[in-house]
Structure 1
């Protein structure tokens, strides 16, 4: 790993984070129920129930869903857990999602105060010392793991295909992993002895590529990143499983945001 490669990766990560409709653009988090509610920074009156999320748009109000302009009553239908639909509204995007078993709405505006003041996230200098070999140990069958969330009282349930074992300076360690976005990849949520000191206290995220035929994986802690809850109160991020609280200082990856 070269410093330039890490710089290119982190610059791309920062660009995605600071996208005009990215997570820093969220201006509110609204929990839907059967009672109709108007939402600041979004059009319409919103409800949810057994058949999913419904919005009633007043005269002159509209949304763009999948490239089609909709008016009046629009049913989004049931949304799968950890999935979302993003509807256009002028220069904004209205995120309709399901988190922890609840339907939510989060408007995303390019002029969000959080996005406007964002100047980037500091990180430890990349080091080959934090590029570690590991071994994936599968669970048979995969386990359902319940974890807490950045929102008090909320829980998330993830499928864990197993754990990744590794060593740091002769100390054997392991991380319970969840399935990553791409098939065969993993996601590890963790804290360590830098948490709350130089890094965000609640959680950090490490993406891990697929194992080879012998179960070998690479853990590049230089690419440990903050989750959205490090930047905004409008996040529902999961917390790490208790066993992922590492008893070492992982002095690698992203540090505390400048304006948490």
Structure 2
């Protein structure tokens, strides 16, 4: 008989896998193209593409099949997403082209529903859920901007740290820098001794906003792989340097097969 804890985890895990398998989700990435100031063609895409670091410019004919917001790209069009709104998008048949700002530059990432990483997806392996991996932590506010780098060479990233969480795990005191996940929630990027063996090189965990007394619940059963664990075209930020647990976290998602 399945208990409520396990049932809730399984429902969550199923939703997670369904989100990954969306037609233009992380599993659909097939290419990453840096843009330069000089207009140039991109492999497998029509038109000429360039970026001055603040906007992407595309020159194409209507017959080329590029469109944005339902309108054909015909001539020279500039794309500039408002600050904080995420990337701009261009459609090309069933593909979606993400105009991604990264470190003062722009890249075009191609999202194709027919990507082998998506069509061959059979789910994300995970450890069996165990309530023992749900721990209480003490949150101490300490806002600062932390430079963390990225899995992709040439991409520098910074995270807005909001404080630290301290807790016991594996019989030892642990501490992680928490960054802003929005709406008061905490985002934890962490490494642990399972990385490279049963798990990917690092993982992520999102926690609810701390309680008024400064405590917060961390459920390591819901540790997730970063997008870069599934695709070579990710630009995932690295964990802050100190975010390395001494206890092996045999909970949450395993390394994708």
Q: Give the structure-2-normalised TM-score.
A: 0.93
Counterpart of 2:157 in structure 1 is: 156
Deviation string 1:26-66 (CA, Å, 9 cap, x unpaired) is 11001111122222343321100154111111341243323
CA distance change for structure 1 residues 230 and 157 in 2, over 3 Å: closer, same or farther? Answer: same
Contact 2:57 2:78 in 1 (8 A): yes
Q: Using the alignment, how far apart are the partners of 2:124 and 2:148 within structure 1?
A: 26
Report 1:119-198 matches (<5 A): 119-139=122-142, 142-180=143-181, 182-198=182-198
56-65 or 25-34, which moves further after superposition? 56-65
Q: 1:65 aligns with which of 65, 68, 71?
A: 68
RMSD, matched Cα: 1.8
122-131 or 87-96, which moves further after superposition? 87-96
CA distance change for structure 1 residues 50 and 226 in 2, over 3 Å: closer, same or farther? Answer: closer
Counterpart of 1:215 in structure 2 is: 214
Q: Using the alignment, how far apart are the partners of 2:45 and 2:208 within structure 1?
A: 38
Gaps of 5+ in 1: none
CA distance change for structure 1 residues 22 and 257 in 2, over 3 Å: closer, same or farther? Answer: same
Contact 1:62 1:71 in 2 (8 A): no
Q: Using the alignment, how far apart are the partners of 1:161 and 1:45 within structure 2?
A: 41
82-91 or 24-33, which moves further after superposition? 82-91
Counterpart of 1:10 in structure 2 is: 13
Q: Give the structure-1-normalised TM-score.
A: 0.92
Deviation string 1:113-155 (CA, Å, 9 cap, x unpaired) is 221222111000000010111111001xx21101121112422
1:40 and 2:43 aligned: yes
81-90 or 208-217, which moves further after superposition? 81-90
Contact 1:225 1:253 in 2 (8 A): yes
Counterpart of 1:225 in structure 2 is: 224
Structure 1 ranges of 4+ moved more than 4 A: 78-82
SS class of match (1:241): coil
Contact 1:96 1:105 in 2 (8 A): yes
Gaps of 5+ in 2: none
Deviation at 1:88, TM superposition (A): 2.2
190-199 or 101-110, which moves further after superposition? 101-110
Counterpart of 2:249 in structure 1 is: 250
Counterpart of 1:240 in structure 2 is: 239
Contact 1:130 1:252 in 2 (8 A): yes
Deviation at 1:248, TM superposition (A): 1.1
Deviation at 1:90, TM superposition (A): 1.7
Q: 2:23 aligns with which of 20, 25, 29?
A: 20
Contact 2:81 2:87 in 1 (8 A): no
204-213 or 83-92, which moves further after superposition? 83-92
Deviation at 1:80, TM superposition (A): 4.4
Deviation at 1:209, TM superposition (A): 0.8
